[in-house]
Amino acid sequence: MDPTSPDTTRDLFADLVAAIAAGRDRAAFVKLFEHFAPRVKSYLMRLGCQAAEADELAQESLLAVWQKAATFDRRQSAVSTWLFTIARNKRIDAIRRARRPELDPEDPALVPATPEQADQILQAAQSARQLHTAIAGLPEDQRELLVLAFFQEKSHSDIAVATGLPLGTVKSRIRLAMQRLRAVIEER
Amino acid sequence: MVAAAIPQFRPGGQPAHHLSEELLLAYATGGLSEAVALVAAAHLTLCPSCRAELARAQAIGGALVEATPPVAMQAGALDRLLARLDQPAPPAEERLTAGSRDRDIPGPLRAYLPADAENLPWRKVIAGLYEYKLDLPGHQGMASLLRIIPGKAMPQHTHRGHEMTLVLRGDFDDKTGHYGAGDLALTDDTVDHQPVAGAHADCIALAVTDAPLKLTGTFGRLLNPFIRF
Ligand SMILES: [Zn+2]
């Protein structure tokens, strides 16, 4: 079965992570590596990493998947989302020595979500496949701005300067793209 | 004299003033400075509504990574990595064992505090206003815990950049609204404001600016040389 097949709602990558957690399954790891390492590398290069460093950090990210497979909770996130946050953290740690303040789901100070909010979080976690399809269907100008906002860590005003678009246009296009994707998440 | 606003009690004690969409997105992508990320992570701890927003932003981030055109890995990368799989994993990241055990202070912030809020080495700024500066090397603006006694007004001020104030205990009012525990007040250089602490308890807030504050009131001009905001 092709884990990238868009017509399935089950995150088959999560099955591969489960196989690693259950039995140190190296074949499952190879499949994850082959799909995700080149994408994580591409993402890191878009963030401004040189090719060699991006390669290194993509390897470290996949190694973290192997080491932390048992902590992955498929109800709380898609594998792509998990890798997105792992790679993001690897990069922050590589470029700055500062501490990285981070939300801790086990924090005793955590204000609990209402059942409705907990549902919203699960909905987001389970919409990876639909989001992928929706992103492919966004108008080019919206997708490009979304990618800039996400991958190049630029503020809306930086994007306005870089693209020559008025700030208001940048803000409204990003908001439109986000609304469209949110609708996809909430339809689930 | 206007009667003090009645604090609005919210269902489940959840915040009413939130991270902006732009800040939330930047937190999701790792684009915030340490000081601003600290405010964001602390608010997220106290705000399930922003956590749901974050889950959406991260799902979109994951889908964008998924949709990005792959770039081939270096030859031999997989083999080198496979050779490392049997090495023992590094010990789990140490939890920062901070001195603060306050259960109502968000964990990301507790990591910066050497003691409980009661026992911090507070520095008196003016009568009724105390400050504890966080250790954030390289941060240009202010990054402090502020403690304001009940009913005390802060010096009137504007900002050269942005100010983020996250209420941890107590509450305050300014002309932009009422802020209780978990609420995040975001102001910029267009706002000249004078927060006043609520009447019933000390207000403790995390305040971060990305540029030094500019004091504007008479009081402020007098104090300016002494407050190294
Ligand atoms: Zn919020």
pLDDT band at A97 (very low <50, low <70, confident <90, very high): low
| Highest averaged pLDDT of the listed ranges A120-129, B19-28, B53-62, B150-159 | B53-62
Distance (Å) from the C-alpha of residue B16 to the closest C-alpha of chain A?
13
User: Looking at residue B138, what is its pLDDT?
Assistant: 83
B167/B104 Cα distance (integer angstroms): 11
Higher pLDDT, B98 or A169: A169
* A59 close to B (CB below 8 A): yes
The Cα B58–Cα B61 span in angstroms is 5
Alpha carbons A56 and A50: distance in angstroms, whole number: 10
Among the listed ranges A138-147, B79-88, B92-101, which one has the minimum average pLDDT value? B92-101
CB contact under 8 A, A39 and B40: no
Backbone dihedral angles phi then psi of residue B150, each to the nearest 5 degrees: -55, 135
And the tokens for B23? 């800040």
State whether A39 and B111 contact (CB < 8 Å).
no
Measured between CB atoms, which of A39, A92, A128 is closest to B59? A128
Question: What does each C-alpha distance from B58 to A14, A38, A182, B21, B223 come to in angstroms?
Answer: 17, 19, 12, 13, 44
List the structure tokens of A130: 């639909």
| A24 contacts in chain B (CB < 8 Å) | 85
- A35-78 pLDDT tens trace: 999 999 999 998 888 999 999 999 999 999 999 999 999 888 89
**CA-based nearest distance B39→chain A, Å:** 9
Interface of A with B in 91-150 (CB under 8 A): 91-92, 96, 98-104, 107-114, 117-118, 120-121, 124-125, 127-128, 131-132, 134-136, 146-147, 149-150
Residue in B88, B227, B51 with CA at minimum distance from that of residue B155: B227
Indicate yes or no: CB of A101 within 8 angstroms of CB of B13. Answer: no
CATH of domain A6-99: 1.10.1740.10
Mean of the per-residue pLDDT values for chain B? 82
Q: What is the mean pLDDT of residues B161-169?
A: 89
**Is there a contact between A61 and A87 (Cβ–Cβ < 8 Å)?**
yes
pTM higher than 0.90: no
CB B189 within 8 A of CB B209: no
CATH code of domain B10-229: 2.60.120.10
- Of the residues B64, B74, B100, B103, the best mutation for testing chain A's interface (the one with the most A CB atoms within 10 Å of its CB) is B64
- Confirm if B122 and B176 have CB atoms less than 8 A apart: no
Q: What was the pLDDT predicted at A142? A: 83
Report the residue of A62, A103, A114, A184 to disrupt the B interface, i.e. the one with the largest count of B CBs within 10 Å: A103
**CB neighbours of A168 closer than 8 A, spacing ≥ 6?**
none
Contact yes or no for B41/A103 (Cβ under 8 A): yes
Question: What confidence category does residue A145 fall into, taking pLDDT thresholds of 50, 70 and 90?
Answer: confident
Q: What separation, in Å, do the N-terminal and C-terminal C-alpha atoms of chain B show?
A: 30
Interface ipTM: 0.87
In whole angstroms, give the CA distance from residue B229 to residue B226.
9
Provide the β-strand partners of residue B145.
Answer: B132, B206
- Interface A–B counts its CB contacts (< 8 A) at 215
Mutate: best of B50, B56, B188, partner A, most A CBs <10 A: B56
**Domain A118-187 falls under CATH 2.30.110.10:** no
Domain boundaries, chain A: 6-99, 118-187
Residues of B with Cβ-Cβ distance to A187 under 8 angstroms? none
A chain contacts of residue B54, beta-carbon cutoff 8 Å: 103
Where in chain B are the domains?
A: 10-229
- Please tell me the distance from the alpha carbon of residue A139 to that of residue B91, in angstroms, as a whole number: 45
Region of poorest pLDDT, from B33-47, B75-89, B134-148, B188-202: B188-202
- Cα B21 to chain center, whole Å? 15
Provide the percentage of residues in chain A whose pLDDT is more than 70: 92
Q: What is the pLDDT of residue B35?
A: 92
What's the one-letter identity of residue B196? Answer: V
Q: What is the pLDDT averaged over residues B148-159?
A: 83
DSSP one-letter code for A41 = H
Nearest CB partner across the interface for B68, out of A46, A108, A156: A46
Q: How many CB atoms lie within 10 A of CB B146?
A: 22
B75, closest residue in chain A (CA to CA): A55
DSSP letter string, A85-154: HHHHHHHHHHH--S------TT-TTPPPPPHHHHHHHHHHHTTHHHHHHHHHTS-HHHHHHHHHHHHS--
